[in-house]
Amino acid sequence: MNDNDDTSQGYLAIWNYNQVNRINGKRDAFLKFPSMRGIFEPYRDTARQTAHYYNFIAFDRRESGAYLTWRGREECFPTWNIPRLLINNSLFLTTLSTVYPYAYKSYMPYGANDVDAVLNANVLSTLAAFNELDKTGGVKAASAFIEHKIRRRKWSRAGVYYPNRYHLHYATMRAWKKGVHTLDSSAVLLIKHLKSAQCSDGSYHSRPIVNHRDILQSTAYAFHAMLSYNDPSDRELNLRIRKALNYILSEMHNQNGTVCWDGGVFFSGGTVIRNTLFWKSDGYTTALILEAIGMYLNQRAQQVADF
């Protein structure tokens, strides 16, 4: 089944493609887009008659107005009948369940849509890139949902499909850097946490069960998030940025003249298997780090020019 995460990132990738073509003067290669508002607004956490158990146990506000994960119809469970929902979902691999998966038919896991903070940050990044923040009703609600997760400081559980503790920092700061000012308070809170959570060697750690603390990936996400804040006057922040960079460079591999890093967790199966069934990619992690290093070098060059 289609989901808002893949949709937002797909459009953002094509938007970046257009930016590259613009820089190279290839205007005839531009791709046209539909309204992003029209794509994401129909799938929001409003006027629903069910709740995903993951959001229920996380004490997330019902009908938050934030963006839903799945772009499809969910099963109807009355808001008061959470036990029925849990029993039905526990039987999802049997035909007794209304959410039994059938081949060649769209399938929504557990039959109930969910609200993921990282996904909402990704959607906000796409809306910002397309200059549709002011036109889209879910922006404030999505930002409020993200801030709620940040204020609760449940870093390991903030994203349904993202078990790394610092993926929320990365995704939120990326959206903020693109101009989502409804995330201003969230940005301040995240930078405060990043200053306090860094290890003495400059690294950041996730939970032990997630890829053995997923240290390199956690550090890469934190490094990127701190660079997105970009406050040259904050000496402590800049010290922590340099320490994170030093750690990342110490983990670099040079293989036959090519530079790369070992892949970390970028996505998981979600809910009960989110910490044990996940995907890693050397290419993704290497690209993430190279992008962040490019940001670092550009910022330092600008500081020198301003001086």
Highest mean pLDDT among 32-36, 58-62, 264-268: 264-268
Residue 39 burial (C-beta neighbours within 10 Å; 0-12, 13-18, 19+)? buried
What is the residue whose two structure tokens read 């998030």? 225
Inform me whether the pLDDT recorded for 275 exceeds 90.
no
Q: What is the mean pLDDT of residues 27-34?
A: 77
Kindly report the backbone phi and psi dihedral angles of residue 3, in degrees, each rounded to the nearest multiple of 5, phi listed first: -135, 160
Inform me whether the pLDDT recorded for 29 exceeds 80.
no
- Work out the pLDDT band at 247, boundaries 50, 70, 90: very high
Tokens of 141: 């609600």
Q: CB–CB of 219/211 below 8 Å?
A: no
Q: How far apart are CA 179 and CA 74, in angstroms?
A: 33
Mark out the alpha helices in the chain (DSSP H runs).
4-23, 36-40, 53-57, 82-90, 117-129, 139-152, 167-177, 184-197, 215-229, 235-250, 282-306
**CATH number of residue 61's parent domain:** 1.50.10
What is the per-residue pLDDT for 125?
98
Q: Which of 71-80, 117-126, 230-239 comes out lowest in average pLDDT? A: 71-80
Q: Which of 7-21, 132-146, 168-182 comes out lowest in average pLDDT? A: 7-21
Percent of the chain having pLDDT more than 90? Answer: 67
Q: What is the mean pLDDT of residues 206-232?
A: 96
Directed axis angle between helix 215-229 and helix 235-250, to 10°? Answer: 150
- Work out the pLDDT band at 273, boundaries 50, 70, 90: confident
- Work out the pLDDT band at 255, boundaries 50, 70, 90: confident
Question: Three-state SS for 264?
Answer: strand
- ∠ CA 174-5-10, nearest 5°, is 80
Q: What is the mean pLDDT of residues 150-168?
A: 94
Tokens of 58: 């996380």
Q: CB–CB of 264/199 below 8 Å?
A: no
Inform me whether the pLDDT recorded for 118 exceeds 70.
yes
Nearest to 128 by CA among 15, 17, 26: 15
- Work out the pLDDT band at 128, boundaries 50, 70, 90: very high
Distance of CA 117 to the CA centre of its chain: 7
Inform me whether the pLDDT recorded for 1 exceeds 70.
no
What is the residue whose two structure tokens read 């956490």? 45
Q: What is the mean pLDDT of residues 61-88?
A: 82
Inform me whether the pLDDT recorded for 286 exceeds 90.
yes
Classify residue 156 by its DSSP letter.
Answer: G
Highest mean pLDDT among 93-107, 164-178, 263-277: 164-178
Kindly report the backbone phi and psi dihedral angles of residue 244, in degrees, each rounded to the nearest multiple of 5, phi listed first: -65, -40
What is the per-residue pLDDT for 79?
62
Q: What is the mean pLDDT of residues 167-193?
A: 98
Highest mean pLDDT among 136-145, 151-160, 270-279: 136-145
- Work out the pLDDT band at 220, boundaries 50, 70, 90: very high
- Greater model confidence, 133 or 107: 133
Kindly report the backbone phi and psi dihedral angles of residue 257, in degrees, each rounded to the nearest multiple of 5, phi listed first: 85, 0
Q: Which domain holds residue 180?
A: 4-306
Structural domains of the chain, count: 1
End-to-end CA gap in the chain: 52
Q: What is the mean pLDDT of residues 117-133?
A: 97
Q: CB–CB of 219/244 below 8 Å?
A: yes
